[in-house]
Structures are given as C-alpha cells and as structure tokens.
Structure 1
Amino acid sequence: MQLTTGLNAVKIVKIVVPEIIQYGLQDAVILDCDYTYSNNTSGLVVKWFFKNKAMPVYQWIVSQKPQDMGILRGRVDLTYLASSDPLKMHRALRIVKLNTDISGDYTCVVSTFMDEDSKTKQMIVFVPETNFRLIQNKTDDDTVNVICAAEGAFPAPNLTLATPESLKLVNGRYSAVASVTLLDEDLPSPAEFICTLRIPLANYAVRKEAIYYPGPISTTPAMPTAADMQLAAAVGSRGKNITLIKIA
C-alpha cells in the first residue's frame, strides 16, 4: 500500500491504538485513525484490518453506513462519531465485548480513487494470572520438589524458577509451570525460593517467595494439586541446576 503525494492526496496523520489494555477494567476501547485530505475525495473509504490484511474487519464508505466484519462483527459501536467532519465521522473503531482474541496488529487504510495511505499498530488485551503458587513438596528426607505454577494469564507468561517450563492454552488463557527437584545437601539452611511470573508484552511481573529448611519431612503449609503434579511431571525437570532460584 503506497502513499501518493499531490493535490488529491490523503494522508494519515495519527493512528491511536492503545498498546495494552487490561481485560475486565473497561467496557470499550477506541482505535482512531485521523487523516487529512484535499480536493478530490471521490471514493473515500476507511478500512481497518486485523492481523493479516486479507479481509477488513471494519469498513466505512463515505455517505454509507459503517460495517463491522469478521472477528469484530457485532463488537463495534457503529453509532460512534470520531468527528463532526462528514468525511471523517466514522473513521474510528469503538470496540466493545473486549477479550483476548482481539489482541494483535490493527491496520488503518484510508483511500480514494486516486490515493491510499495506511498505518499499523499493535494492541494487547492483557489478563493477569488467576492463580499463582510456589509449592515445596518434600517426598523424602533428602530431596524437595519445588513447583511454581500459574493459571489464567494472557499473553503467554514465562516463569523464572527453573528450566524448562511448560505452557498450556485453555479457553484463550495460559497455564504455566516450572519445577525442579533439589537435594537437601546442596541447599543452605534456610533456603529462599523465588518464582517470578512475567508477561513481557504487558510490562507485567509478579513473584512468589518461600523459605525452605532442609531436613526430615515435616508438615508443609501447601500441597500441590493433581494438576500441578501432572504439569510438573510433563516438564520432567530434575537436577541441581538452581541458577534461577535465589538461595538465602
């Protein structure tokens, strides 16, 4: 898509797409695409594309009603006016029914019969984790299983307890687990375990801490769930590599 300069040119001067919005905190989000035009505006059309540019998710042909399509069908407030200018009034998207499935690149294309301009920006609908656990599961007197598990986050998080980690996508949300089995003889007393969950695309981070005392089995305050153990088994991490675990 190319921009042609001249007497009949249209030019996008500003595209406003929020980089990050948190799921559940707002009812709608506005994506705006402001442009200039001169002289001949015959055939003026504003289109928005999502991710790939094969099919638009929104289209407004001047003098006609705007249309929402594809993943945004039924999710755009078609009565929203971004401007009182009749050649700009329906340039923007007011998206309702927000969810993670609308995360991605949005491209605004403004065109006439003579000219065309486009700009792209990314928007992420971010979901914090619904459950985040750091568990010590002592199976015998000489070793301890450390399991860090998180559920319900989006986009995909990473855990810095130990490697490798396992990710599972369920209903558009991610579950993640990292685990390691350590020998008591390799640990100081006490040992401090720290697990950090990060979602880099959302500039988001939280962490859990736990203190462990090597020695005989004693009652532990938290036990792993069956799901935790299944995920940890799938990871299959065992050894003395505690590079990403802080030891007090």
Structure 2
Amino acid sequence: MVRCRGVKRVTIMHACTTLLWLVTCFNGLHAIKIVKFVVPEIIQYGVQDSVILDCDYTYGNRTPGLMVKWFFRSKTKPVYQWIVSQKPQDIGILRGRVDLNYRASDDPLKMYRALRIVKLDTDISGEYICVVSTFLDEDVRSKHMTVFVPETSFRLIQNKTDDDTVNVICAADGAFPAPNLTIATPEKHLQGVDHRVHLVNGRYSAVSSVTLNDADLPSPAEFICTLRIPQAKYAVRKEAIYYPGPISTTPEMPTAADMQLAAAVGSREPNIFTALTLTALSVLFRLLVS
C-alpha cells in the first residue's frame, strides 16, 4: 500500500488558502474605511459663523447597521449620531449647535456624515473622534480643534515703589487658549519672572511680573513683553523705555478718565472718589500758591 503523505499536506494547504481568500473577499464586501477626515486645527472666534467637520468613507456591497458617530474629547458619549434611514441627532455639548439639515453628500449612505457646527465658542475646543461602523466592521479617526481668541487687552506697566527698584508687569486678558507671557530686554530674557494664569468665563487672564534693581539696568533701559499662543502661531509684543532713578515728585492732576471712573464707582466705593477729589484740590491749591 502506498501512502501519499505529500498529497495530503498539499490538499490541506490549498484548503486553508482558499478559506483565507474567501474570508478576505467576505470582509471586503463589508469593509468600512475612512478615506477623508477634515477637522481644522485652528479657527478664530468671531471670524466665521460656522465650521464643518467631515468624515468621508467607503463602504462595501452590504452595509447592515451603518452608523456615523462623532465624539468629543472621549469615546464615552457621542455628541452627534446618524443611523442610516433615521434623522441625525445632536447630543450633549453640541445640542442646538449643529445644522441638522446640512448634507455633505447626495449619497443616501453618506449624506449626514459631517458636522456643521454653529454658535462657535471656546468650549468646543478639544479632540473630535469620528467612528463609522456597521454590524461587521468599524473605522475610527480623531483630531484636535482649537477655537482661538486673541487678547482683548495687553499692557506693559512699570510700577516704581521706591528709588532703587522697579516692578515690571505684563498683563493680558480675554485670550484663549492660555497665552504665554515673557518679559525681556533686547539683550536677554529676565530671570525670576513670576507667571500667573486664571480662567474666567472661558477666557484666560495672564500676568507676568518681575522686580529689578536700578543698579542692574542701563539708563535708559528697554523692556519687551511678548504674548504668544503657540497653538495658533500667534504672537504680539509691547515695548517700554525706563529711566532708572528716584521716584518723581512732580505733582500730577487726575485725568478726566480718572474722575469719570471715580464718579462711576463712587456709589460703591466712596473712598476712591473722595481720595481723587482731595488730590485734585490739593494740587490746585499748591499751583495757586506757588
């Protein structure tokens, strides 16, 4: 009797190859693949009234249970969901902020795949995750988007409290994300700078300050404050000239703006109004008798 062991081994290998080919073909019929994923990295608040996030995909011959879900910052709960043959839904932080009539395609299996977000603000900054799935397959993409807000005020202040030192203060309000503030001279960055950042109503206030000895400074000295928001590739700067020396004793009249401010807060803080009024009277008296 002749044993054909080689023939048996070849037959098994051929069967395995055929099975693998059939599985591959079957999966190909139902494969979901995201082929275009569009989430802008930076958008500027107030410049546009909406933004479109797109998640285009290919699908096979059969798509049982085709569904598109968008998540924000984590995959715990979707902020948008569209099940083919049903109406799209906006959920959570995006409820009432998605144009549910927007169609990214005329293909009935793709038309509501994208998000058109309106009512833009800093609270929708974060990672967006698109999940396209069927009962048989799934594909996922993600990308971070930041709503950038330039500062509403930016100040460089020299506050001299005694004859030998000066406090240099750089302050900014109303920015998002949190700005980086640096204080420098044309020759170098200054050491020992204190940095503080606070989030107020979705915007950041930042202050950097340093105290310097007059003896360590040239006369005149130049200070440079730079505000940077790296995510937006945004930077602005302010410069100021400082003359070391004793505190000036030259009397100064309160400005019209000072008096208006005092009048506005007088009902709440009468001491401010009184102080400014007494200062004005004192200066007027000195000018009259001089």
SS of aligned partner of 2:65 = coil
Structure 1 runs not aligned, ≥5 long: 221-248
Q: Secondary structure at the match of 2:104?
A: coil
- Name the residue aligned to 1:94: 116
Between the aligned residues of both structures, percent identity stands at 79
Aligned to 1:166: 196
Greater strand fraction, Structure 1 or Structure 2 = 1
Residue 133, structure 1, aligned to residue 163, structure 2 = no
Structure 1 match to 2:255 = none
Query: Could you state the TM-score of these two structures normalised by the residue count of structure 1?
Result: 0.85
CA drift of 1:164 comes to 2.5
How does the TM-score come out when normalised to structure 2? 0.73
Q: Which has the larger radius of gyration?
A: 2
Determine the structure 2 residue equivalent to 1:55.
77
Q: Where does residue 241 of structure 2 map in the other structure?
A: 211
Between the aligned partners of 1:170 and 1:8, the Cα distance in structure 2 is 49
Alignment partner of 2:97: what SS? coil
**Distance in 1 (alpha carbons) for counterparts of 2:29 and 2:182:** 56
What's the counterpart of residue 194 of structure 1? 224
1:28-47 aligned within 5 A: 28-47=50-69
Instruction: Compute the displacement of 1:7 (Å).
Output: 2.0
CA distance in 1, matches of 2:154, 2:29: 59
CA contact (8 A) 2:196 2:207 kept: yes
Q: In the TM superposition, what whole-angstrom CA distance separates every residue of 1:191-234 from its partner, at most 9, and x where no partner exists?
A: 110111111111111111111111122379xxxxxxxxxxxxxx
**Matched residue, 2:267:** none
Q: Report the counterpart of residue 164 of structure 2 in structure 1.
A: 142
* Cα distance in 1 between the residues matched to 2:28 and 2:142: 23
Matched, 1:115 2:145: no
Amino acid at match of 1:6: G
Deviation at 1:5, TM superposition (A): 5.4
Larger helix fraction of residues: 2
Q: Which residue of 2 aligns with 1:72?
A: 94
* CA offsets 1:138-178 (integer angstroms, 9 cap, x no match): 11221111000000111111111252300111001110001
Cα distance in 2 for partners of 1:33, 1:164 equals 44
Unaligned 5+ segments in structure 2 are 1-25, 184-189, 253-290
CA distance in 2, matches of 1:129, 1:53: 32
SS at match of 1:175: strand
- Residue in structure 1 matched with residue 277 of structure 2 by the alignment: none
- d(CA) in 2 for partners of 1:199, 1:216: 37
* Structure 1 consecutive aligned stretches of length 4 or more whose deviation exceeds 3 Å: none
- Where relative contact order (Cα < 8 A, 6+ residues apart) is larger, the structure is 1
1:156 aligns to what SS in structure 2?
coil
Counterpart in 1 of 2:7?
A: none
